[in-house]
Chains A and B, each alone.
Chain A
Amino acid sequence: MGRFWSLLFLSVPILGVAVFVFAVVPGGIFANHWLPEDISQHGAVIDNLFMFILYLTGVVFVATSFLLFWFMWKYDADKNTEPVKYLHGSHTLEIIWSIIPAATLLFIAIFQMDAWADARMKYPTDKATGFKKPPLLLVTGRQFEWRMQYAGADKVIGTPDDIHLVNDLHIPVNEEIVIQIQTEDVLHSFFLPNMRIKQDVVPGMRQHIWFEAKNTGTYDIVCAELCGWGHYKMRGRLIVQTEDDFKEWMASAIAEQNKTSLNANE
């Protein structure tokens, strides 16, 4: 039976790698079963880091799993006629297999620091003026919707002429934008899978996220932090438009806004 069990354990790395290969190679039986389309400028860094760690751990996974199989196969008590090696360890080996993983892990740790700093610490500045970029809009999570608040004609958020939308986030393509996010009630998490953005929103805190879209289209906004019974349906739409389309949309939204207030005065 030792043979059978060894082969069962050999199937782990073989099938394990096969599943990932089927998922990574496009058009296979697992179509669209991999990292979703990346429409952000910074996302490639994250995806490349993911793939780099995948290859690295993949090699370790295959190597150690194969060793496990090989030892099971070779040292099966029913087949192995050699006496066991009466041995309590090896200092040399311990040092080798401590230093190599330590160096590798430290390398990964240092290698990724810039990506993290770009994503979370380096607040974008306006190239022309050198000042911090003002947020394009304020996104507020509440049970169970996302409320969008654009500055409107006066370019200041929090004034009566602000444009309010629910669950629809319009942004221009090819422009680095800043969004201020907050929550009105419990924790939510603002997750844009295609933009490689995820940030929890915490009551009592206002935070900023920044990104630049490189494709136009409509994508999902997902809530990724449990926020109550309707958590699953807290879905928004990210609508990335060309600069002209975005300006046109903004102008029509402002016009709509003015019309409504005019009607209210009548």
Chain B
Amino acid sequence: MNTATVDDGHGHAGTMSLKLFISTYVFSKDHKMIGMQFLFTTLLWFIVGGLLAMGIRWQLAFPWTDMPIIGGRLFSAEGGQISPEFYTTLFTMHATVMIFFVIIPILAGAFGNFLIPLMIGADDMAFPTLNMLSYWFMWPAFICIGISFLTPPYGAGGGWTSYPPLSSVLTAAPGSEMAQTWWLIGVTLVGIASMLGSVNYLTTIIQMRAPGMTMFRLPMTIWSMFITAILQAFALPVLTAGGVMQVLDRLLGTGFFIPEGLVVNNSEMLSGGGQPLLWQHLFWFYSHPAVYIMILPAMGMVSDMLSCFARKPIFGYKPMVYAISGIAGLGFIVWGHHMFVSGMNPMLGMTFMVSTMMIALPSAVKVFNWLGTIWAGKIQFTTPMLFSLSFISMFIIGGLSGIFMAATPVDIFIHDTYYIVAHFHYVLFCGTAMAVFGAIYFWFPKMFGRSMNETAGKWHFFLTFVFMNGTFYLMHILGAVGFPRRLADPYHYETFKQLLPMNRFITWCAFGMFLSQAFFAINFFYSIFKGPRVGRNPWRANGLEWFCPSPPVAHGNFDKQPIVYRGPYEYGSPEVDEDYYPQTQPPPEGVSVGNAAESGGDH
């Protein structure tokens, strides 16, 4: 990572020694720099994951067609086509990269690191060295997944869920040889990195809040990061254990997930006595809470942006906190809904169905509260606000489509179809990724001391919004026909052959969506160097992060000790003439709003 363009605040960038350079930009223990490292790395991986998606879309629109221009170089052995083996690698890697290298680390790693100390008024994280390690543990993971992708004949092709025995028997598929071992080690390392981060976030949020910053004065971003860290700390060890068990099955001949007497591809397994469903339970025990790890921080950031640009207090702060706590709690007992047709006892399916239905409730409560927040406000249509509003609009679709698959009899039909694909892309791309874009536009001035271009930002928003709906919305229709996931060529089935034109349309939209990101990439890099300089608080927002200089002081963040007098959503307060009332602003003479150190919120 080279982020040497960022002024480190010491004013000696020109004469920096190598040692100082490494301690400032490479092995930095400063939470802001670590956040930046996560941001740049994950954005690069975002491009990789996007390119892999384009490969998938190419195959679904033009199956077994020579890819123009680049096909001959990429797939010379197949005459420029995507082979079915490589297709399994494409979707496996697309999901792996997007989930483990983009969404989770950009939320917790980039924004968690950058925002937590700033928003609670701390100098840094509780454990700076641990924090540095949480970033550098990602690199062995990058290397392992990179090796896995490049291991001949093809990369890992077991899907991101890595279900045994396909993933645990070396002869099961071309991608199940060493590539799968590297993949498993890589994913396990990502888990370790996240765990290191989560312990740090929990300690920091509990221990290092500024004077007056009670728990119920925390911004929703911090609440969601806090709950996310709890999910990571408790769910990840299970995935780590499962990953190690699968590696042992593959390398040392244990049989945790391999049943007795299994013969795959004419080679008999020596080990046995295991149960393939055990892996599914362990995997989803982490990976379902992980779904909330991938959405809750986005919800928190959106709540903050909505309140700021509606110039109005957030509606139902405490119900929102209880709602994300409810999502987190229920999130631990719904993993079985991924397994309704897996062969798991159908009686268990009934139980998981009820808990899954109920988890829609806190999500609904959050949507209503966001609508309540913008109601009767004064909405400023800035780029971050547009992305936040689109988060609500898209999350409504992604949330509602989840009810279909929670209904067990319906899930029999739509399980493993594009209905599921539509659902989770609406939540993860149209939801989380849009929130992340909004958050980048919103906190960019704090990160770099300059602001991004609004016109380019709005073009980026408009094109992404149109193309992503063109891409993902029609997948609901594909799913209703029963169009299955992960098929290199579904059109030889009588049931699905009429779906080719619709898939072509989706692919053109996907290409458009990918290309639209150029507006973002150019704007982002241009603005780091040439964007207009901004002051401490360009958005006239209330949070503590806007109290410190832009960018914050290299060591210690704040040039003045922040003291917190109120919650972060006091917009339009009658106590002051301005339409915002920063958390750190002392109350005017004669107005009693309670002692700064007093516990409890102001509402």
Q: Which of A20, A115, A202, A220 has the most CB of B within 10 A?
A: A202
Query: Do B374 and A113 touch across chains, with their CB atoms under 8 A apart?
Result: no
Q: Interface residue tally of chain B, by bracket? A: 35 or more
By a CB distance below 8 angstroms, the chain B residues around A60 are 396, 400
- Are B353 and A109 interface neighbours, CB within 8 A? yes
Is A121 touching B342 in the complex (CB atoms < 8 A)?
no
Residues of A within 8 A of B453 (CB): none
Residues of A within 8 A of B414 (CB): 50
Of B11-19, B193-201, B237-245, B492-500, the one contacting chain A is B492-500
User: How many angstroms between the C-alpha atoms of A235 and B409 in the bound complex?
Assistant: 24
Residue A153 CB within 8 A of the other chain: no
- A228 near B376 with CB under 8 A, answer no
With known contacts A71-B371, A87-B315, A109-B357, A232–B488 Cβ distance under 8 A: yes
Provide the residues of chain A in CB contact with B473, threshold 8 Å.
15-16, 19
Would you list which residues of chain B between 557 and 575 have a CB under 8 Å from chain A? 569, 571-574
Cβ of B260 within 8 Å of any chain A Cβ, yes or no, is: yes
Choose the segment among B26-34, B110-118, B475-483 that binds chain A (4+ C-beta atoms closer than 8 Å).
Answer: B475-483
* Contact present for B265 and A185 (CB under 8 Å): yes
Q: Which residues of A contact B416 (CB under 8 A)?
A: 189, 191, 198, 224-225
Assess whether B572 is in contact with A83, with CB atoms less than 8 Å apart.
yes
Chain A residues positioned under 8 Å from B367 (CB to CB): 64
Residue from B176, B276, B386, B409 within 8 A of A187 (CB atoms): B276
Q: Which residues of A contact B264 (CB under 8 A)?
A: 143, 185-186
User: Is there a chain B Cβ closer than 8 Å to A94's Cβ?
Assistant: yes
Q: Which residues from 334 to 354 on chain B have a C-beta closer than 8 Å to any C-beta of chain A?
A: 341-343, 346-347, 349-350, 353-354
User: Are B572 and A116 interface neighbours, CB within 8 A?
Assistant: no
Task: Name the CB-closest residue of B to A225.
Answer: B416
Instruction: Give complex CA distance A236, B424 in Å.
Output: 29
Given contacts A198-B341, A229-B88, contact A57 B378 (CB under 8 A): no
Contacting pair A196 B412 (CB below 8 A): yes
Cβ A77 vs Cβ B378 within 8 A: yes
Contact in complex: B166, A102 (CB < 8 Å): no
Chain A residues lying within 8 Å of B325, measured Cβ to Cβ, are none
Tell me, yes or no, whether B393 is within 8 Å of chain A by CB: yes
Least CB separation from A85: chain B residue: B376
Determine if A120 is an interface residue (Cβ-Cβ < 8 Å).
yes
Encode contact with A along B170-187: 1 for CB under 8 Å, 0 otherwise: 001111100000000000
B159 & A226 in contact (Cβ 8 Å cutoff): yes
- Among B119-127, B207-215, B294-302, B358-366, the one that faces the other chain is B358-366
Cβ-based interface call for B397 (8 A): yes
The answer for the CA separation of A82 and B375 in the assembled complex, in Å, is 12
A2-10, A160-168, A244-252 - interface stretch:
A2-10
Q: Which residue of A lies closest to B414 (CB)?
A: A50
Q: Is the CB of B409 within 8 A of A2?
A: no
* In the complex with contacts A36-B482, A97-B368, A72-B374 CB distance below 8 A: yes
B136 contacts partner chain A, Cβ-Cβ < 8 Å: no
Q: Are A97 and B276 in contact (CB under 8 A)?
A: no
Among the 9-residue stretches A25-33, A124-132, A171-179, A255-263, the one with 4 or more Cβ atoms under 8 Å from chain B is: A25-33
Q: A77-B378, A84-B378, A226-B88 are in contact. Are A187 and B492 (CB under 8 A)?
A: no
* B381–A2 touching, CB < 8 Å: yes
Closest to A23 in B: B477
Let me know if B409 and A49 touch, CB within 8 A.
yes
CB pair B312 A97 closer than 8 Å: no
Report 12 cross-chain contacts, Cβ distance below 8 Å, ordered by A residue: A23-B480, A32-B481, A34-B480, A36-B495, A61-B400, A80-B378, A84-B571, A84-B572, A88-B317, A121-B347, A204-B260, A235-B493
Q: Which 6 A-B pairs have the closest CB atoms?
A: A204-B259, A120-B346, A89-B316, A85-B376, A77-B378, A193-B482
By a beta-carbon cutoff of 8 Å, the part of chain B in contact with chain A is: 84-85, 87-88, 157-159, 163, 165-166, 169, 172-176, 258-260, 262-265, 275-277, 310-319, 341-343, 346-347, 349-350, 353-354, 357-358, 360-361, 364-365, 367-369, 371-372, 374-381, 386, 389-390, 392-393, 396-397, 400-401, 403-404, 407-410, 412-417, 458, 462, 465, 469, 473-474, 476-477, 480-482, 484, 486-490, 492-495, 498-499, 502, 569, 571-574, 579, 603
